Amino acid sequence: MSTATQALTDGWVVAQRNLIKIKRVPEVLVFVLISPIMFVLLFAFVFGGAIDPPGSVNYKEWLIAGIFAQTVVFGATFTGAGLAEDMQKGIIDRFRSLPMSSSAVLVGRTTSDVVYNILSLIIMALTGLLVGWRIREGVVDAILGFALLLLFAYAVSWVMAFVGMLVPSVEVINNASFIVIMPLTFVSNAFVPTETFDGALRTIVEWNPVSTLTQASRELFGNTGGFAPTDAWSMQNPVLYTLIWVGVILLVFAPLAVRQYRLTTSK
Amino acid sequence: MIRASGLTKRYKAVEALRGLDLAVPEGKVLALLGPNGAGKTTAVRCLTTLLKPDAGSATVAGIDVLADPAGARAKIGLSGQYAAVDEHLTGYENLVMVGRLYHLGKSRAQARARELLERFDLSEAADRPSKTYSGGMRRRLDLAGALVAAPPVLILDEPTTGLDVRSRQQMWDVIRELVASGATLLLTTQYLEEADRLADDIVVIDHGQAIAHGTADELKATTGGERIEVVLADVEDRDAAVRTLTEIAVGDVRVSDNGRELSVAVSGRGAGHLLHVLQGFERDSVTVLDAGLRRPTLDDVFLSLTGHATEDAVAGTDDKNKELAK
Ligand SMILES: Nc1ncnc2c1ncn2[C@@H]1O[C@H](COP(=O)(O)OP(=O)(O)OP(=O)(O)O)[C@@H](O)[C@H]1O
Ligand SMILES: [Mg+2]
């Protein structure tokens, strides 16, 4: 078996183990499902009427893609925290004493977190539909939109996997991810239109991959309300620009995380 | 089958291993005997590729563990000091997962899991999450995990620490079966008795170094073997008692400060000597409160090898049980 296929098959075995835990500790599942519902309802009803994006846009509808983006990006915290927890458990010694791929623990965790994200996207989409969100482009486009969200979240998972290896403490991971992901999602067009930012901040927003992810899924869901993106190249080509980020993050952080895993476990 | 030479590992201020040498021939059992902090776990982790030694080398089944860790892992079944099982998974799920990570394939992994659960008397608990298991059950599940791929070399770090007498006996039986079926085994322990029962050869380590090496009998000989200890009812009888004890003693008769507790080392059949002593006391009308045969403990071996008692004996604590109870 080649190294890559072995990493994938071993990773899938570890992912199944992580998924069993969802069944055994339903509290986690409740959190995974409740918090996206809460986000959708909170933003839709608290801010839904307060903010008025330009054009004839229905803010609630416009907002949903931003909430999707924010939630799945935050979901990466799970990856870091889950791994940090694993590293402190005895099971890691069993994994390490087996002739399995050394990236399997990481591949497994990032994979099972895709399943978490799929679940939370389904829940958010259903809640969204209840409060008036609609898919206005074709089904294929909508599926592409969800796929892009999952792909980007998967890449961010690897960043958090690296952080989880670097500081194997659940509390630190939670705080660190809050400090990094909070600004990343708020200095973006997820909740307020790009036009409302000025000067340097606007440039940051335009080139922030969370903005382009949001922009791309808005376009794919048909939720832009005919409202044109700003002139920056990133906003004009949001799908491509987001995919470039996904590629770069994976190329940089997947090897870094695997290397850090080996370092951490051989102390 | 297992060979280590000059293993050295230092953690900041602590030199956990200071040039440890080991050799276990195929099909034999070596016990690594030492008190808390002696470096047993560190040695095990170096041999099982979990830890890179600062210096030294090791081979397992002819494979250099530093040059080819993955190859070595395929030959070793490890049961570490703390059970490496996933508490949310059932016993069955744990073993199937391990089997699949050994690349046995799904159906073979499942069959092997059932087989091992049966063998380790865990069939009834097979479908419960392992966090509901007792310490002994968890330990057995962990050992079962080590055996999934039927590896030729087994390394067990304190397999019976924290187990009650019955579970310990069970574990000993399991280990004997494994050896009978041809496995080469390295186990660590804090109990001379355990090493005595299971091992062909014993290496005593302290502060990261081997301080003695031999069979259980050889080691016990260094402490004078078994001892007879008596407690006299009346200090007046001391001289008569010493006279009788001298007849069978190897070396001097030790007398406590209060003059009522006497002990001697004996060689050969201790029970016969004890009988002789008691008959002598009967003849001289020496009354005893207590009389018995004591096997040398790790403490005795230690005392005679190093001139200091084990740290555990000094501190009188047993952190190990507390840790395991967690
Ligand atoms: N990760 C670590 N960092 C610092 N010191 C360590 C580490 N691991 C072990 N040590 C030290 O190395 C020494 C040997 O430890 P080791 O765990 O090998 O002992 P042991 O013989 O297994 O003891 P025990 O019977 O308590 O399990 C001890 O002094 C311990 O404090
Ligand atoms: Mg130990």
Name the token pair of A71.
Answer: 């939630």
Select the residue from B10, B73, B97 to test the A interface by mutation, using most A Cβ atoms within 10 A. Answer: B97
Residue B228 neighbours by CB under 8 Å, 6+ apart:
B245, B248, B263, B264, B266, B270, B273, B274, B277, B291, B292, B293, B294
Residues 6 or more apart in contact with residue B11 via CB below 8 angstroms: none
Compute the Cα dihedral for A212, A215, A221, A222 and give only its sign.
Answer: negative
In angstroms, what separates the C-alpha of A23 from chain B's closest C-alpha?
Answer: 9
Q: At residue A259, does pLDDT exceed 60?
A: yes
Pairing of strands B209-214, B2-11: unpaired
What the block records as the tokens of B59 is: 């081979």
CB contact under 8 A, A104 and B83: no
The model's confidence at residue A77, banded by pLDDT at 50, 70 and 90, is: confident
Please tell me the total number of residues recorded for chain A in this structure: 267
> For position B316, what pLDDT does the model report?
39
pLDDT band for A267, please (50, 70, 90 cuts).
low
Confidence of residue A153 (pLDDT cuts 50, 70, 90): very high
Q: If you average pLDDT over residues B199-214, what whole number do you get? A: 91
For residue B267, name the pLDDT band (cuts at 50, 70, 90).
confident
pLDDT confidence band for B136 (50 / 70 / 90):
confident
User: Does the structure show a pLDDT above 50 at B317?
Assistant: no
pLDDT computed for residue A247 by the predictor: 97
Which range has highest mean pLDDT (A242-251, B71-80, B99-108, B147-156)? A242-251
Q: Is the pLDDT of residue B303 over 80?
A: no
Q: Whose CA is nearest to atom 3 of ligand 1?
A: B11
Query: What is the Å distance from ligand 1's center to B38 Cα?
Result: 7
Tokens found for residue B90: 């059932």
Q: State the amino acid at position B72 in one-letter form.
A: A
Using one digit for the tens of pLDDT, what is the confidence trace for A11-35?
A: 999 999 999 988 888 887 787 778 8
Position B1 pLDDT exceeds 80: yes
Specify the higher pLDDT residue, A53 or B325.
A53
Within 10 angstroms of residue A243's Cβ, the number of other Cβ atoms is: 19
* Nearest residue (CA) to ligand 1, atom 28: B37
What whole-number distance in Å separates Cα of residue B35 and Cα of residue B309?
A: 10
How far is the C-alpha of B228 from the C-alpha of A167, rounded, in Å?
57
Q: Which residue in the block uniquely carries the two structure tokens 């998974």? A: B89
For residue A220, how many other CB atoms are within 10 A of its CB? Answer: 25
- B61 at the A interface (CB within 8 A)? no
Residue A175's SS3 state is helix
The mean per-residue pLDDT over the stretch A141-156 comes to 96
A92 contact residues in B (CB cutoff 8 A): 84
Residue A114: pLDDT band (50, 70, 90) is: very high
Nearest-Cα distance to chain B for A242, in Å, is 35
Among A20, A91, A100, the residue with its CB nearest the CB of B85 is: A91
pLDDT confidence bin for A215, thresholds 50/70/90: very high
Are the beta carbons of B39 and B16 closer than 8 angstroms?
yes
pLDDT score for B125: 94
Q: Which band of pLDDT confidence, cut at 50, 70 and 90, is reported for residue A50?
A: low
pLDDT of residue A214: 95
Asked if residues B83 and B47 have their Cβ atoms less than 8 Å apart, the reply is no
The model's confidence at residue B315, banded by pLDDT at 50, 70 and 90, is very low
Res. B65 pLDDT band, cuts 50 70 90: very high
pTM, 2 dp: 0.81
Closest residue by Cα to atom 5, ligand 1, is B11
B56 token code pair: 């030294």
The pLDDT score that the predictor gives to residue B322 is 38
Whose CA is closest to atom 25 on ligand 1? Answer: B36
Q: Do A98 and B86 touch (CB under 8 A)?
A: no
Distances (CA, A) of A184 to A212, B88, B278: 12, 34, 86
Q: Where does residue B307 fall: left (phi above 0), alpha (psi -120 to 50 degrees), or beta otherwise?
A: left
**pLDDT greater than 80 at residue A177:** yes
Highest-pLDDT range among A88-97, A172-181, B57-66: B57-66
Any chain A CB within 8 A of the CB of B242? no
**What per-residue string of b and e applies to B205-226 under the rule 16 or more CB within 10 Å gives b?**
bbbbbbbbbeebeebbbebbbb
Task: With beta carbons less than 8 A apart as the criterion, state whether A52 and A59 touch.
Answer: yes
Q: Which residues of B touch A20 (CB under 8 A)?
A: 88-89, 93
- Cβ of B135 less than 6 Å from ligand 1: no
Asked if residue B42 has its Cβ within 6 Å of ligand 1, the reply is yes
Site of tokens 């010694």: A93
Q: What is the DSSP string of B107-169?
A: HHHHHHHHHHHHHTT-GGGTTSBGGGS-HHHHHHHHHHHHHTT--SEEEEESTTTT--HHHHH
Tell whether the model's pLDDT for residue B262 goes beyond 50.
Answer: yes
pLDDT at residue number B326: 37
Report the residue of A96, A101, A112 to disrupt the B interface, i.e. the one with the largest count of B CBs within 10 Å. A96
* Residues A150, A163: Cα–Cα separation, whole Å: 20
Q: Which of B118, B286, B246, B98 is nearest to A104 (CA)?
A: B98
Question: What pLDDT, in 10s, does the model give residues A121-140?
Answer: 999 999 999 888 888 888 89
**Which is more confidently placed, B311 or B15?**
B15
Residue of B7, B9, B10, B11 to mutate, ligand 1, most atoms within 8 A of C-beta: B11
Instruction: Answer whether B223 contacts ligand 1 (Cβ < 6 A).
Output: no
The answer to whether B106 faces chain A, any CB pair under 8 Å, is no
Residue B156 and residue B143 in contact, taking contact as beta carbons nearer than 8 Å: yes
> What's residue B320's pLDDT?
38
Return the higher-pLDDT residue of B280 and B251: B280
Q: Is the pLDDT of residue B297 over 80?
A: no
Closest A-chain CA to B128: A24
Please judge whether B145 and A99 are an interchain contact, meaning their C-beta atoms are less than 8 angstroms apart: no
B318 vs B133, higher pLDDT: B133
Q: B176 falls in which pLDDT band (50, 70, 90)?
A: very high
Is B16 a pocket residue for ligand 1 (Cβ < 6 Å)?
yes
Provide mean pLDDT across the span A38-66: 76
Q: What percent of chain A has pLDDT over 70?
A: 95
Q: Averaged over B222-230, what is the pLDDT?
A: 78
Chain B nearest CA to A56, separation (Å): 51
What digits encode the pLDDT tens for the residues B21-33? 999 999 999 999 9
Q: Which residues surround ligand 2, an ion (CB under 5 A)?
A: B 40-41, 81
* Residue A168, SS3 per DSSP: coil
pLDDT, average across residues B276-296 = 88
What was the pLDDT predicted at A51? 65
> What is the mean predicted confidence (pLDDT) over A100-107?
90
pLDDT for position A22: 83
pLDDT at B307: 64
List the Cα angle B116/B133/B103 in 5-degree steps: 35
For tokens 């940051």, the residue is A204
Tell the residue nearest (CA) to atom 27 of ligand 1.
B36
Which residue in B85, B93, B146 is closest to A90 by CB distance? B85
Q: What token pair was written down for B70? A: 């993955």
Closest approach atom of ligand 1 to CA B40: 21
| H or E stretch covering B57 | strand B55-60
Nearest CA to ligand 1 atom 24: B36
Residue B129 to residue A12: CA distance in whole angstroms: 21
The CB of B14 under 6 Å from ligand 1? The reply is: yes
Ligand number with the minimum distance to the CA of B189:
1
pLDDT on residue A263: 85
Choose among B300, B299, B279, B297: nearest CA to B288: B279
